[in-house]
Amino acid sequence: MAKRKHTHRKHRLLGADNPALIENPAGPPLPAACIHKICYNAQDILSAQLTMQEIVNWQPPAGHVAWINVHGVLDIPLLQAVARRFKLHPLVLDDILNTEQRPKLDTYPDYLFLETRLFYYDTESMSVSSEQISMALGREWLLTFQERPSGSFEPVRERLRQGQALLRQSGPDYLCYALLDSLMERYFQVLEAINEDAEQLENQLLDRPSPEDLQNIHRLKHVTIQLRRAVWPLREVLNSLIRNEHGFFSPQTVPYLRDLYDHTVHFTESLEAIRDTLSGLMDIYMTSLSQRVNLEVRALTVVAMLFMPATLIAGIFGMNFNEMPWLKDPDGFWWAILMMLLIAVAMLLVFWRRQWLSSRRDS
C-alpha cells in the first residue's frame, strides 16, 4: 500500500476550465507535450525523442540508466501512456496534472514520487512565477514532468554528454539528486536577484523615498513568502530521502542529499535575512515619511510665527481708542510697518541660527 499524505485536492484532470493549464499567462501558448529520453552508463549515452506510440512498448538498453523527461502536462493521452508504461498509480497522474501542489514525497512499492517547484523572477515587476516539477524515481529509471521546456535541467544534461564520471557511473538516484541540486541553484539565483533589488530599494529610500518604493517593498515581501512556502516543505522531503527508509537511494548518494539539505537551510536563513532587511526598509520608509511631514509642518510653523508679530501689532493699533501713540502721527503707519519688518527679520535670524530654515539638519 502506498504511503500518502492526504491534502485538499483541486481536480483539474482535463484543464478545460483552467486557463493557466492551457496558456502561459506571461508569454505565448505553451508548446505541445513531448517525451525526451536519455539512456546512459559509464561507456555511452543515447538521446532521442519518443512518441506516444513508442513509449508504450519502449524498453531501455540493458545496463543503462533511463531518464524520461516529459515537457507539458496538457496531453492527457500521452501522460496516460507514460503512466501505463511505468505502472504509475492514478493518483500520481492526478498529482502531475494538478500543478498547484506543495513540495511533497509519496512512497510506492516500486518507485518514489516527489514534487517540487521551479521559480522564475521578473526584475521589472518584482514578481515571481513558478511551475511544478514532478519526479518518479524507480530502481533503474527516473521520470521528470515539467509544465514547459526550460533550461533548468540543461547543466545536468551537459554533464551527462561530457561524461562526468560520478554522474555517468551512478544510478538514477544520483541523477535525481543532481536534478534537485540544479533546481536549488535556480533558487539561489532568484534569491540573489531579490537581494540586489532590495539593495537598490535601500539606496532609493535613503535618497528620495516615494510611494512606489513602498509598493516594491510589499512585492518583494510577497515573493519571499512564496519562496518560503516552497522551501520549507522541500526540507521535509529531503529529510525523508536522507532517512532512506524506502531504500531507493544508495549509501553513496545519501551524503549528497545531506549536503543538499544544508543548502536548503542556508537558503532559508538567507531568505529570512532578506525579509528582515525588507522590514527594516519599511521602517526606513515610514521614518523618512514622518521626517518629511515634520519638515513641512516646521515650514508652516515658521511662516505662521513670522506673521504673528505683524498680526499682534495690527491688532493693537486697530483697537478702538482715541488716544494711542502714533495714532495721529502722519508717519505712524510706516513706523508700524517698519516695526513688523524688523521683528520678522530678527525672528528669521533666530530661526537661521537654529537651522530651522534648512531642509536637512546635522544630527
pLDDT at res. 106: 94
Q: 62-94: string of b/e by CB count within 10 Å (b at 16+)?
A: eebbbbbbbbbbbbeebbebbbebbebbeebbe
Kindly provide the b/e burial profile for residues 238-253, where b requires at least 16 CB atoms within 10 angstroms of the residue's own CB.
bebbbeeebebbeeeb
Q: Is the pLDDT of residue 3 over 70?
A: no
- Would you state the pLDDT for residue 253? 95
Q: What integer pLDDT is reported at residue 29 of this predicted model?
A: 52
CA distance 363 to 361: 6
Of the listed ranges 22-26, 131-135, 231-235, the least confidently predicted one is: 22-26
**Integer Cα distance of 285 and 205 in angstroms:** 6
Decide if pLDDT at 171 tops 90: yes
- Cα dist from 330 to 35, 314, 333, 334, 339, whole Å: 104, 17, 7, 9, 16
Least trusted range by pLDDT, from 170-174, 343-347, 352-356: 352-356
Mean pLDDT of 162-184: 92
Confidence bin at 337 (pLDDT 50/70/90): confident
Question: Cell numbers at residue 308, please?
Answer: 504673528
SS3 at position 192: helix
pLDDT of residue 13: 34
- How far is Cα 192 from Cα 273, in angstroms, rounded to an integer? 12
DSSP of 229-287:
HHHHHHHHHHHHHHHTTT--S-TTTHHHHHHHHHHHHHHHHHHHHHHHHHHHHHHHHHH
The terminus-to-terminus CA distance of the chain in angstroms comes to 70
What pTM does this model have? 0.74
Q: Nearest Cα to 178, choosing from 156, 154, 158?
A: 156
In Å, what is the CA distance from 203 to each residue of 121, 161, 198? 21, 45, 9
pLDDT > 50? residue 19 = no
Is pLDDT of 6 > 50? no
In order of their start, the domains of the chain are 19-287 (3.30.460.20), 298-353 (1.20.58.340)
**For the chain, what percent of residues have pLDDT higher than 90?**
44
* Number of other CB atoms surrounding residue 162 within 10 Å: 11
The Cα 261–Cα 216 span in angstroms is: 31
H or E, element range at 35: strand 34-40
The confidence band for 16, taking pLDDT boundaries of 50, 70 and 90, is very low
* Per-residue pLDDT, 334: 80
pLDDT confidence of residue 105: 95
Supply the mean pLDDT for the chain: 82
pLDDT value, residue 21: 29
Per residue in 251-310, pLDDT (tens digit) is 999 999 999 999 999 999 999 999 998 988 888 887 777 777 777 777 777 777 777 877
Grid coordinates belonging to 214: 513602498
Helix (H) or strand (E) holding 321: none
- Residue 271 and residue 320 in contact, taking contact as beta carbons nearer than 8 Å: no
- List pLDDT tens digits, range 194-234: 999 998 888 888 777 788 888 888 899 999 999 999 899 99
